[in-house]
Structure 1
Amino acid sequence: MVALTASRNTPNKDGQLAVFPVAAGVKIFAGALVALNAAGFLVPGSVSTTLRYQGRSEDCCDNTGGADGAKTLAVRRKLAFKFANHAGDPVAQADVGNVVYIVDDQTVAKTNGTNTRSAAGKLLAVDVDGVWIE
C-alpha cells in the first residue's frame, strides 16, 4: 500500500441504519433489542455470552423456516434506545455510564449474570418505565 498522493473519493455508509443477515430459525419483532451471534447473523437478544449488541430492529422478520442469511433486517444503531429494566437485577441512577447486559429482546440488567450475559451498551439514563442504553 502507498499513502495518498492526491485527493480520494472515499466511499461511506450510513452507520445508523444497517442491514444484517438474519440467523436461521429465528423471528425478530420490530423494536426488539438485536445482536449478532458468534457466526455473524442477527438474532433477538437473549442470555448468551457470544452476542454482540447492534441496536433496535426496524421491522419484524420471520426466518423460522429459513437458513442463515435467507432474510435480512434493517437495524437502527448509534442512538439511545429505551428497554425494560430487569426486575431481579435492575440498573439504577448510580449505574449511568456503566455497561449493561442483555437479558432478552426487550430487557437489560445491571450485571453479566455471573458471566452468562453479553454486553448491551452503556447506560444513558434511568426512567421509571425503562432504561436508555446507547
Structure 2
Amino acid sequence: MTALTIDRNTPQRSGDNRNFPVKGATTLFAGSMVALSENGFLVPASTLANLKVVGRNERRIVNQGADGDQRADVKAGIFRFENSTGGDAITLVDIGSDCFAVDDQTVARTSNSSARPVAGTIFDVDDDGVWVKFS
C-alpha cells in the first residue's frame, strides 16, 4: 500500500468486548473466567497450561453441538475472582504481578511449575477475592 493522499475512515473497537466460538460439548457459566484452547475455541479456564485466558464470560452458554456451533460474548476489564489458598494465596504484595488460573473462578499466585496458564494481572486484593485485570 502507499501512503494516504486523502482522509481515511479508520474503524475502531473499544477492546473490552469480544465474541468467540465455543468448543463443542462445553458449558460456560455467566461470570466465569474463560480461555481460548489451542484450537481457538472458548473453554472454561483451567489448569491446562496451553490455554490463553481472555476474560469474563457474559452469559451462560451451553454448546451441545460441534466446535463453533455457539458463540460467547467475553468482556475484558477488571473483575474479582476467588483467591487460592495456602502458599498460592495472593496477597497485597503481589499487586502488579501475573496470576494464574486454577479453574474458571479461582486464581493463584504461582503457575504450579508451568502447569497453569496466566489469567491476568493482579489489580487488587481484598477480603472477598482477587481483582484480576484482563486486557
1:96-127 CA-partner distances (Å, limit 9, x unpaired): 00000011000000000111000011100001
CA distance in 2, matches of 1:67, 1:14: 30
Matched, 1:33 2:33: yes
CA distance in 2, matches of 1:119, 1:3: 39
Per the normalisation by structure 2, the TM-score is 0.94
The equivalent residue for 2:79 is 81
Q: CA deviation at 1:9?
A: 0.3
**The residue matched to 2:115 in structure 1 has which SS?**
coil
Give percent identity, aligned residues only.
Answer: 44
1:48-107 CA-partner distances (Å, limit 9, x unpaired): 1111111111100011x2111000011111x10000001141111110000000110000
The equivalent residue for 1:132 is 131
CA RMSD of aligned residues (A): 1.0
CA distance in 2, matches of 1:4, 1:47: 47
The equivalent residue for 1:119 is 118
Matched, 1:43 2:43: yes
**The residue matched to 1:133 in structure 2 has which SS?**
strand
Runs of 4+ in 1 over 3 A off after TM superposition: none
CA distance in 2, matches of 1:120, 1:5: 43
Matched, 1:109 2:114: no
The equivalent residue for 2:59 is 59
- Matched positions, count: 132
Q: CA deviation at 1:13?
A: 2.6
CA distance in 2, matches of 1:3, 1:102: 44
Q: Which runs of 5+ in 1 are unaligned?
A: none
Matched, 1:99 2:98: yes
The equivalent residue for 2:9 is 9
